[in-house]
Structure 1
Amino acid sequence: QPRRLFAFICTLPLEGDPTFATENVTVVRGRCLFNGREIVDRHTMKMSIPCVEATCWAPSKLVLLNKCPPPELGYGCMLVNRYDAEYPWCCPQAICN
């Protein structure tokens, strides 16, 4: 019988990365309580307000947050937010003339 090899790639966020954050949360019955929502342990939820992707790590009482990258604004550009969309589509976008 052939052997199977599984590889897992783990990327660790760099310190000072503005697109990554952690937040301490309350855990109830294995679910993280974040921003009025319950996230199952080791599950990810995309949100619109705040515009983040949140992953629950219940044993550590943490939520890992992927946040929007800072927008680059050039001359004649303005920021547009889409509050009706979930992460990453709700991230501010530069619209330029």
Structure 2
Amino acid sequence: MFGDLMGMMGKLKETQKKIEETKKRLDSVIVDESSSDELLKVSLTANREIKSIDIDDSLLTDKEQLEDYLVLTINKAIEKATKVNEAELGAVAKDGMPNIPGMDFFK
């Protein structure tokens, strides 16, 4: 009984280490998003840290329009990065979880 428990604890610690390594790796995974007309481009990591914003000069004359572009494009980029992040971390967590009856969190 205790051998199984110790094995599970070891596997959980190993999984925790893999999750931390994956989080670090996701800092280097870049997600790009553009407005539909390509006037605004946003790049961020899969951990949702903005790396760059490229704004076409034509957007600089209309503050309200620029703000709308920023909100829409950044939100789309965050959504895309979140999907990448969750898929990567979910795969690591699912792979490392011990098989405990009734604990089917990652189906």
Length-normalised TM-score, structure 2: 0.23
Question: Quick check: which one's helix share is greater?
Answer: 2
Length-normalised TM-score, structure 1: 0.24
Larger Rg: 2
Question: Quick check: which one's strand share is greater?
Answer: 1
Tell me which of the two structures has the higher relative contact order, counting C-alpha pairs closer than 8 angstroms and 6 or more residues apart.
2
